[in-house]
Amino acid sequence: MRALFPLLALFVAIPWVAAEDKKDEKKLDLFPLAKGTKWEYVVSVNGEDKDVIQEVTKIAPGKTGERDIVTVESKVAEQTITEEISADDKAVYRHAMQGMKLDSPLPIVKYPYTAGATWKSAIKIATDEAEAKFDAGKPEEVKVAAGKFTAYPIVMEMDVMGKKVVSKNWYADGVGIVKQDVDFAGTKVVMELKKFTKGK
């Protein structure tokens, strides 16, 4: 179980988002949620490379007036990590991670995307309580194996089981996360996009 913690921390930090830019009024799709959408990454954990494939596998329609719940599966070696996400015009929310339900949905991105925006959210998973802090940065150019992107960075800080997690995620319009840097209690994780397949 201990070996799984760094990988869990990696995906705890991963928001799937769709935001709106006030300046040009263009709606950004920073994490596509169509079924079949797939991301192929190379992840370096303390210098050891692993392949990770993430895919939107299920969309459960919400009840009237409620958000659809999207299931994303991440395959790492012989492990499969799942999470549940939803979104509306105010925020993107995480509901569950690897079968562990949050007491209340965690807003991982606030709308519209605004550089300099910050927010905090208290969460509880089982008996563990934590406060997540988020900071949205200015768009910047990021180059990875899948290409060169204008990316929107978000930094998240929180304590997981008494250990500090700091994650920086870069999102590209119409693609999703193209790069992620995580420090989980001294364990360094770097994730970069190799291939993206848009769902339908």
Q: Report which of 96, 101, 50, 41 is spatially closest to residue 77, judged by C-alpha positions.
A: 50
Collapsing DSSP to helix, strand or coil, 6 comes out as helix
Mean pLDDT of the region 10-29? 47
User: How confident is the model at residue 126, as a pLDDT?
Assistant: 67
- DSSP lists the bridge partners of residue 159 as 164
Which residues touch 48 (CB under 8 Å, ≥6 apart)? none
Query: Would the pTM of this model clear 0.75, i.e. be above it?
Result: yes
- Dihedrals φ, ψ of 152, to 5°? -110, 110
Based on its alpha-carbon atoms, the radius of gyration of the chain, rounded to whole angstroms, reads 16
Measured on CA atoms in the order 145, 111, 11, 196, is the torsion positive or negative? negative
pLDDT of residue 86 exceeding 70, the answer is yes
Predicted confidence (pLDDT) per residue in 163-180, tens digit: 889 999 999 988 999 999
Structure tokens, 117: 């925006």
180 contacts 190 by C-beta, under 8 angstroms: yes
Of 18-22, 66-70, 77-81, 109-113, which range is least confident?
Answer: 18-22
Q: Where are the domains of the chain?
A: 2-197
Mean pLDDT of the region 152-170? 90
The size of the chain, in residues, is 200
User: How confident is the model at residue 13, as a pLDDT?
Assistant: 45
Q: Residue 73 burial by CB count (10 A; 0-12/13-18/19+): exposed, middle or buried?
A: middle
Measured on CA atoms in the order 126, 123, 4, 195, is the torsion positive or negative? positive
d(CA 165, CA 187): 9
- Dihedrals φ, ψ of 70, to 5°? -105, 130
% of the chain exceeding 70 in pLDDT = 86
CATH architecture of the domain 2-197 equals: Beta Barrel (2.40)
Neighbouring C-beta atoms of residue 124, cutoff 10 Å: 13
Between 31 and 13, residue with greater pLDDT: 31
Q: Report which of 56, 52, 28 is spatially closest to residue 42, judged by C-alpha positions.
A: 52
Of 62-71, 132-141, 175-184, which range is least confident?
Answer: 62-71
